[in-house]
Structure 1
């Protein structure tokens, strides 16, 4: 159970309670056994009791360590899934630092004895690594936090994690352009290839058109697309709606990826900053709620509510030859369109599988 929700519940309960009981509540909420640990938490909690914020007015940020939230985000977000599934993971970079992208590299050639050796020049492009944040805010009643249980805390925590990761995954698995608020999609700048109408042929086409490093590559698609691929490839894959492998390459399956999209992505060709998850809570604030296009104001204090917020700081920058993808692959049960066969040669393993399926049918 995450420390963040325990802290929130403790602060909500202390609003109308005797301050002398706060130390006892700290020991109970965080299972603190020592008086020194309870005293430290008491001192930190009293700094923010008056404002209802995890950051005090004197910029003394109160850090709440919540490893469970980190684990939950890593298991659901494309950033965490790729880091654990792909050998070598991402090309991790430091935020707010300039990164050098090699545009043209060295060229090697055979030369005769005593002959002039050819010289090639390397070209680099310099660009800054920015940071963006994806945030989710949840408004609940103060009474719910006061009388809450571990089950309620876990449900609220899962809801915040789901909102943050679903938005992150949907943005990453798109071809949206970068903006002042979002890093854009990892597919931005690469035009989709037209589907052949066959998932087997589509996979062959993507592999043959891929210009990146296959040893650092992964598939990216939605759970429904994964089910359609399982139906196509059968026992030839270890793929499922939660991920696995397809043709020996890791398959990253995320909600938010468009149905019909299959992407083959080189993790080493995407500069990534996977930053911290910062929680916050407020009870004395006026919030602007977006209700089907109309905006209304909500006073948390007047409504006796609390706002819980999670922010994930991150950024990614696709480099050259990052991916190849299709956006109109046939789904399960859909009638395949009539298209010309791809010009690329189908790998032997796919040719064998296609022949076997045809003979069986």
Structure 2
């Protein structure tokens, strides 16, 4: 079997296991109950299978990538600029979604229609018919679905939801490369509000002599529950922008939606100072309270010692090296890409070739904080994604209104502004997502990084 066929087979097996886990979750949710012991065992078995497949896929994909590097002289960029009008994927084709429009355009146009209708769905439908009736007929179906009530006797009532789901998936696909979560592979995905058993101590074994007593021990478990956590934001635009929008205006709204959601998610996910908050039910970052190591310097020997110490720490905590990834500030990645040995050769050439450091993916983001010190320092994290529990509804819900007064600041400290009086329309975006370290030793944070 070829490597690509083996990868395809494993990916199909992974989808089957995820579908099994999702079906169990849906059944329990519809019946408003937790898993039965049998269902819990089936769910755990499916998730363990997904984890095993991810471990098998990692070296196969890495080998395939290395084969591609040998086959061509110039490597395709690690990621594609999100908003460049000439952006192309590695095959040379332009990045487009449904109907040949830029990725995420359907979702953005839906937001613009809601804004143009000023919260009135009938007005939004009329605007969509005039502005996008030819190029985006799905919008009419989606907005109509919001106007009409559903009945149990109507066999086509749920059909518009399919179009909305497709449109939302396009936006999520656009959002994914802008978030740290979307760029890391191998999270342990779990449903909301379901109790998950967690092993805290293992059995003990040892050598015994003939006729000697064998050691007896017991496993220890506790349980955790992934609660519902909601992030929300409001974007205010003028009625003129919503009503007289052109492709450039759509681009502006699309940029703002992606930037607003991704920047907030990145900071909340990776900033070590973000603590859990029971008031808002927010999870806190995966680096909060994680094991920390202090950086030993910024020269070649110090950097090597830092990276080796982080890898040794995560192995000492009982985690395998497979599937790990680094997360750091973009400044750190640039510094490591340009770091040279005493022989004046690049110390980590793979960062420029395929974005990996010591064989593990390096996820860079400007959301990894830079401390206001002299010199400015930052953090570098080593993460075992398989030990990070992630519950994600996978969709962003929009609503719009102009009949409100808003404080146009993050902290609500500024005076209220009447949307109606100022000819403004507010678009509200909401998303349900929660993350949690399954075991604390799965994340190592290097502090005081000057590179």
C-alpha spacing 1:297/1:235, structure 2 compared with 1 (3 Å): same
Secondary structure at the counterpart of residue 295 of structure 2: coil
Residues 26 and 42 in structure 1, CA contact (< 8 A), matched pair in contact too? no
Answer yes or no: is 1:183 the counterpart of 2:288: no
Q: Which runs of 5+ in 1 are unaligned?
A: 49-59, 84-88, 332-361
Of 102, 105, 113, the residue aligned with 1:2 is 105
Secondary structure at the counterpart of residue 248 of structure 2: helix
Answer yes or no: is 1:143 the counterpart of 2:247: no
What is the alpha-carbon distance in structure 1 between the residues aligned to residue 411 and residue 191 of structure 2? 39
Structure-2-length-normalised TM-score: 0.61
Give the match for residue 228 of structure 1.
335
Secondary structure at the counterpart of residue 434 of structure 2: strand
Answer yes or no: is 1:25 the counterpart of 2:130: yes
C-alpha spacing 1:30/1:104, structure 2 compared with 1 (3 Å): farther
**Which portions of structure 1, spanning 4 or more consecutive aligned residues, are displaced by more than 6 angstroms?**
15-20
What is the alpha-carbon distance in structure 1 between the residues aligned to residue 143 and residue 198 of structure 2? 49
Structure 2 matches for 1:61-80, cutoff 5 A? Answer: 65-80=167-182
Secondary structure at the counterpart of residue 74 of structure 1: helix
Give the match for residue 298 of structure 1.
417
Answer yes or no: is 1:286 the counterpart of 2:405: yes
Answer yes or no: is 1:201 the counterpart of 2:305: yes
Of 339, 354, 359, the residue aligned with 1:248 is 359
Residues 114 and 399 in structure 2, CA contact (< 8 A), matched pair in contact too? no
Secondary structure at the counterpart of residue 314 of structure 1: strand
C-alpha spacing 1:124/1:199, structure 2 compared with 1 (3 Å): same
C-alpha spacing 1:71/1:209, structure 2 compared with 1 (3 Å): same
Residues 101 and 125 in structure 1, CA contact (< 8 A), matched pair in contact too? yes
Larger helix fraction of residues: 2
What is the alpha-carbon distance in structure 2 between the residues aligned to residue 18 and residue 280 of structure 1? 14
Answer yes or no: is 1:161 the counterpart of 2:266: no
Between the two structures, name the one with larger relative contact order (CA 8 Å, sep ≥ 6).
1
C-alpha spacing 1:46/1:308, structure 2 compared with 1 (3 Å): same
Structure 2 matches for 1:1-361, cutoff 5 A? Answer: 1-13=104-116, 24-25=129-130, 28=133, 31-32=136-137, 38=140, 40-41=141-142, 43-44=144-145, 46=147, 65-83=167-185, 89-112=186-209, 115-175=212-272, 176-180=274-278, 181=280, 182-197=282-297, 198-210=302-314, 211=317, 212-232=319-339, 234=346, 236-240=348-352, 244-259=355-370, 260-275=378-393, 276-290=395-409, 294-318=413-437, 319-331=439-451
CA positional deviation for 1:46: 4.5
Secondary structure at the counterpart of residue 178 of structure 1: coil
Give the match for residue 53 of structure 1.
none
Secondary structure at the counterpart of residue 337 of structure 2: helix
C-alpha spacing 1:316/1:22, structure 2 compared with 1 (3 Å): closer
Residues 26 and 32 in structure 1, CA contact (< 8 A), matched pair in contact too? no
Residues 291 and 441 in structure 2, CA contact (< 8 A), matched pair in contact too? no
CA positional deviation for 1:199: 1.6
CA positional deviation for 1:26: 7.2
Structure-1-length-normalised TM-score: 0.76
CA positional deviation for 1:23: 7.3
Q: Please give the per-residue CA displacement for 1:290-335, whole angstroms capped at 9, x wherever unaligned.
A: 288732112212222111222222111112311112111222xxxx
Larger strand fraction of residues: 1
Give the match for residue 88 of structure 2.
none
C-alpha spacing 1:41/1:134, structure 2 compared with 1 (3 Å): closer
What is the alpha-carbon distance in structure 1 between the residues aligned to residue 383 and residue 115 of structure 2? 45
Q: Please give the per-residue CA displacement for 1:1-20, whole angstroms capped at 9, x wherever unaligned.
A: 43232123334545699899
What is the alpha-carbon distance in structure 2 between the residues aligned to residue 19 and residue 215 of structure 1? 50
The alignment yields a C-alpha RMSD, in angstroms, of 3.1
What is the alpha-carbon distance in structure 2 between the residues aligned to residue 82 and residue 317 of structure 1? 15
C-alpha spacing 1:300/1:73, structure 2 compared with 1 (3 Å): same
Residues 106 and 136 in structure 2, CA contact (< 8 A), matched pair in contact too? no
C-alpha spacing 1:243/1:312, structure 2 compared with 1 (3 Å): farther
Secondary structure at the counterpart of residue 225 of structure 1: helix
What is the alpha-carbon distance in structure 2 between the residues aligned to residue 101 and residue 185 of structure 1? 20
